[in-house]
């Protein structure tokens, strides 16, 4: 993995992690287009640089994260389904990560959902998450284990299903990313601890830093677009990308 690869992948991670277009799907496609050799380090890199995205959420929502045991409890409840299911099915999930076809169809199907979601949930006004709602959102997050679905899309839709306003659903989705992505990062670091050397540590450090910066920009952009236009344009984008992936994959370009 070259330093240019590190920059491109970190840029993609930062810009897509919190936008409902699937950062994992985009990273898989980028890795394929860049001809990055798949090995333990390159697979772990995509997950570990998410730590930068986590720090971006902590930085932007630091006031919301001030000590509040009740809210922390709800985040933990929402985190549990993904923790359990991810642990039980981690090998099968890893296999799905290698399929561009799965990514393409997940992008398309999710895109169709986002095109119509604004009309389905236009009157949601709740601003607080109950423990029951947190659990429902947590199970919705598990759908994002299919690459291309998007963790933010599934959790925001989950928030809308339980009655949250678009902005509050997005906020809870961002904050739920902290324990979810932190757990994934620690797990991947532990798996590759034996093969890390100084040069790889440097690439990881740069990746985390770049993901942090680009995530801050992406979150602010997403909230502004969400409040003004809703989800439709993100859905259209997903459909276009998904179709292009199918075309290139069929032609052998991916």
**Predicted confidence (pLDDT) per residue in 3-59, tens digit:** 899 999 999 999 998 999 888 778 878 887 888 877 777 777 888 888 899 999 999
More confident residue, 164 or 125: 164
3-class state of residue 12 by DSSP: helix
Rounded-to-integer distance, Cα 120 and Cα 252, Å? 38
pLDDT tens sequence across 163-217? 998 889 999 999 999 999 888 888 877 877 777 776 778 888 999 999 999 999 9
- Identify whether the C-beta of residue 183 lies closer than 8 Å to the C-beta of residue 50: no
Rounded-to-integer distance, Cα 180 and Cα 34, Å? 28
Residue 237 has pLDDT above 80, yes or no: yes
- Residue 171 phi, psi dihedral angles, 5° rounding: -60, -45
For residue 253, the model assigns a pLDDT of 62
For residues 73-86, give the mean pLDDT. Answer: 93
| 197: DSSP letter | -
For residue 198, the model assigns a pLDDT of 66
**How far does the chain reach from its first CA to its final CA, in angstroms?**
18
For residues 107-123, give the mean pLDDT. Answer: 88
Residue 99 has pLDDT above 80, yes or no: no
For residue 162, the model assigns a pLDDT of 93
Rounded-to-integer distance, Cα 221 and Cα 205, Å? 25
Q: What percent of the chain has pLDDT over 90?
A: 46
For residue 7, the model assigns a pLDDT of 94
For residue 98, the model assigns a pLDDT of 66
DSSP letters along 28-97, please? HHHHHHTTPPP-HHHHHHHHHTHHHHHHHHHHHTTTTTSS-HHHHHHHHHHHHHHHHHHHHTHHHHHHHT
29 closest CA partner among 250, 241, 251: 241
Residue 69 has pLDDT above 80, yes or no: yes
Confidence of residue 108 (pLDDT cuts 50, 70, 90): very high
Q: Compute the C-alpha angle 9/232/81, nearest 5°.
A: 65
Chain mean pLDDT for the chain? 87
How many separate domains does the chain show? 1
Rounded-to-integer distance, Cα 128 and Cα 3, Å? 43
Whole-angstrom CA distances from 117 to 61, 78, 95, 123, 232 are 26, 22, 30, 11, 8
Q: What percent of the chain has pLDDT over 70?
A: 96
pLDDT tens sequence across 127-161? 889 999 999 999 999 998 888 888 999 999 999 99
Residue 55 is part of which domain span?
3-251
pTM: 0.86
For residue 68, the model assigns a pLDDT of 84
Rounded-to-integer distance, Cα 221 and Cα 254, Å? 30
């Amino acid at each position: 993995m070259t330093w240019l690869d590190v920059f491109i992948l970190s840029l993609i991670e930062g810009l897509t992690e919190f936008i409902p277009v699937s950062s994992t799907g985009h990273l898989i496609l980028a890795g394929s287009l860049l001809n990055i050799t798949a090995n333990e380090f390159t697979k772990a890199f995509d997950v570990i640089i998410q730590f930068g995205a986590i720090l971006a959420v902590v930085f932007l929502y630091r006031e919301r994260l001030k000590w509040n045991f009740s809210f922390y409890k709800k985040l933990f409840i929402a985190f549990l389904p993904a923790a359990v299911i991810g642990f039980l099915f981690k090998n099968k999930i890893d296999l799905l990560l290698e399929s561009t076809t799965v990514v393409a169809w997940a992008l398309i199907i999710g895109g169709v959902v986002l095109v119509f979601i604004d009309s389905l949930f236009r009157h949601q006004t709740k601003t607080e998450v109950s423990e029951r709602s947190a659990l429902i959102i947590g199970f919705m997050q598990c759908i994002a284990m299919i690459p291309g679905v998007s963790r933010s899309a599934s959790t925001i839709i989950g928030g809308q299903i339980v009655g949250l306003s678009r902005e509050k659903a997005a906020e809870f989705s961002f904050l739920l990313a902290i324990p979810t992505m932190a757990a994934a990062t620690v797990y991947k670091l532990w798996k590759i601890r034996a093969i890390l050397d100084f040069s790889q540590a440097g690439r990881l450090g740069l990746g985390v830093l770049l993901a942090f910066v680009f995530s801050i920009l992406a979150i602010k952009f997403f909230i502004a677009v969400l409040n003004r236009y809703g989800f439709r344009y993100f859905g259209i984008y997903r459909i276009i990308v998904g179709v292009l992936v199918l075309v290139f994959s069929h032609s052998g370009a991916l």
